Amino acid sequence: MVLPDTVAGFAVFPIVYSPQVTHVIYGKSHTNPKKATKKAVNITFPDGRTLFLANVPPDATERELSLLFKSCGTVEKVVFDHDSLPGDTLELQSESESEAEDMDAAMDGDGNGEPPSKKRKRSKKGGEDVPVLKPLPSVPLRILRETGRTAHLVFLDDSSLERALALPRKPRQWPSSDEPRGLAHYAARHDALRPPLDAVREHADSAVAVYDYQEELKKQKSGYHKGEAIVDEDGFTLVTRGGAYGKTLGGGVGVANKKFNGGSEESGRRRKKKKEGKEKDGFYAFQNHEKKRNELLQLKKNWEEDKAKVEKLRESRRFKPY
């Protein structure tokens, strides 16, 4: 069996699943896009030592990929699928918490805006008495991602990348990490979703505490006081509807008409309608004539349509009942 060395500029890494079955991962050295498009996430990977991989097995773990490229050098971290939209939908709450915590340090300026990390960031900025979110107990679990996705592999040094790209194209065995698979995986997942009650309590309480603290913080920071409008740099006042209890948290001026926010067009249409309604029907004789004529025309049109329809049906031999 012959596999090409490269495909469209990608290095081909054949992976052996079993003696007969080979999977292929495509690799390339990562280059950061020159200007971050609007949609791109502002994660930047260090140039020169990041290997971009495509067609990663869906059940690959960070450890497995690290093991695969162990021979080339130490892998600092692996980021899966960073620019897919919903991304790792399977990511568990517990994991995302703990992972995010680790990633925070590495990814400076991460504006990902995922609320949990946001909170934490702010809480760190806060001070000593900041409540800390107590994570739920986490269990190492595989995350099954969609097939054919990508990953970024960041090596510790630049030379590892070169070595990786220069790897001989002979098939290598797919390594295996400790996370359970199959039946055991599902059992573990099922159990992991049901942590002990006190852990849940701690987690929930701390989360609410964090939230309260942040709200407090926001209030202080915003300098908003009840009844005051928010004025931005250009001097425009933000006009918005109140929340459930009559005031928006962030501030703003209450709006009288509910239609104002959502249904401005609607109300405009209504006004128009009123105007139109003033003209009378059947005022002139020709209007009556026209109306009658149109009615008759409509009648005939329907009749002809029906006829055509039935004719079509007849052609399909529908009217042979048996």
Stretch that binds other proteins, among 1-9, 70-78, 122-130, 269-277 (CB under 8 A): 1-9
Q: Which residues of 204-232 are buried (b: 16+ CB within 10 A; e: fewer)?
A: eeebebbeebbeebeeeeeebeeeeebee
Binding residue for other proteins, selected from 89, 159, 173, 287, defined by CB under 8 A: 89
Which of 70, 121, 124, 181 contacts other proteins by CB under 8 A?
181
115 versus 268: smaller Cβ distance to other proteins:
115
Asked whether position 101 contacts other proteins by CB under 8 A, the answer is no
To other proteins, the closest distance from the beta carbon of 47 in angstroms equals 18
By CB under 8 A, tell whether 221 contacts other proteins. no
Comparing C-alpha atoms, which of 37, 74, 34 is closest to residue 157? 74
Q: Say whether residue 268 binds other proteins (CB under 8 A).
A: no
231, 263, 224: which is closest to 247 by C-alpha?
224
- Pattern 146-165, other proteins, x by CB under 8 A: xxxxx---------------
Amino acid at 142: R
Would you count residue 104 as binding other proteins (CB under 8 A)? no
Shortest separation between residue 280's beta carbon and other proteins, angstroms: 24
User: Considering beta carbons, is residue 261 or 288 the nearer one to other proteins?
Assistant: 261
Q: Does 3 bind other proteins (CB under 8 A)?
A: yes
Q: How far is the CB of 285 from other proteins (least distance, A)?
A: 17
Min. distance of Cβ 133 from other proteins in angstroms? 9
126 binds other proteins (CB under 8 A): no
Q: How far is the CB of 228 from other proteins (least distance, A)?
A: 15
Residues 238-257 that bind other proteins (CB under 8 A): 238, 240, 243-245, 249-250
Contact between 138 and other proteins (CB under 8 A)?
no
Is 44 near other proteins (CB under 8 A)? no
| φ, ψ of residue 238 in degrees (nearest 5) | -80, 125
Among 194, 258, 273, 275, contact with other proteins (rule: CB under 8 A): 194
Contact flag: residue 115 with other proteins (CB under 8 A): yes
